[in-house]
Amino acid sequence: MALISHSALATEHDAASKILFNNVNIFDGKTNRLQNSMNVLVVDNKIEKISELPIGVQDGARVVNGNGRTLMPGLIDAHAHVANVGHKKMEMDYDKGDVGIMSSVKALGYLMDGFTSIRDVGGPAFPVRRAIDGGHVPGPRIYPSGAFISQTSGHGDLRHYNDPNPTLTGIVSSNRERMGYTIVVDGRETWHVVPVDYACLVYNGLVQYLHCVVQHSRTVCLI
């Protein structure tokens, strides 16, 4: 069982915090064994001292008795979506307020699972990161990427199948795209004409194979 402290958060309000962990078994992530019955002093969110001998109680320090539990470095989730709080609900029902509140709850879940840092690889994670960094809610350090960038029908095209294509119509009907969760960005139409029976058409990110015929020494593709 790992001991998790909110000292993992790099916030302004706890910049001078001191936490003393007594009687913990340390897993350092480098060796395959525990260092038993150790004491650890954390000052200003950094480990200042590790000792087998008792560490004197610091003025204003919070003392945590580990009772032989395991203390380990925080985990890092390298692929997270803290603002992904339910695909169907996000598209059909939620607004930015729902996503913000539920993202905060999800961020706390990451912290309680031992993740003190997460790399958010898609979605509107900036508001919850600001709330955590400002000390308003507990959570891990978040490194956001912003919205998904996707082509039509790609991994980040989260429209309902009846929604119009934003590239072709200029209409952004996807709720998640409006909230900054994803953005559909298509390139220019490209024709690849080859002197064979089939040619490849890349149109708005969709690959189609079209039947082609030769007319007057030119290949014409039939749509």
Quick check: 65 pLDDT over 80? Answer: yes
Q: What's the pTM?
A: 0.68
Residue range 66-81, pLDDT digits in tens? 999 999 999 999 999 9
Number of domains in the chain: 3
Domain of residue 89, CATH code: 3.30.110.90
> Of 50, 73, 96, which one is at a domain's C-terminal end?
73
For residue 193, pLDDT beyond 50: no
**Which residue segment(s) compose the domain that 214 sits in?**
190-221
The residue among 73, 105, 126 that closes a domain is 73
> Per residue in 87-131, pLDDT tens?
777 777 788 888 889 999 999 999 999 999 999 999 899 999 999
In sequence order, the 6+-apart residues with CB closer than 8 A to the CB of 61 are: 18, 19, 20, 41
What's the pLDDT band for 16 if we cut at 50, 70, 90?
Answer: low
Residues 97 and 135 occupy one common structural domain: yes
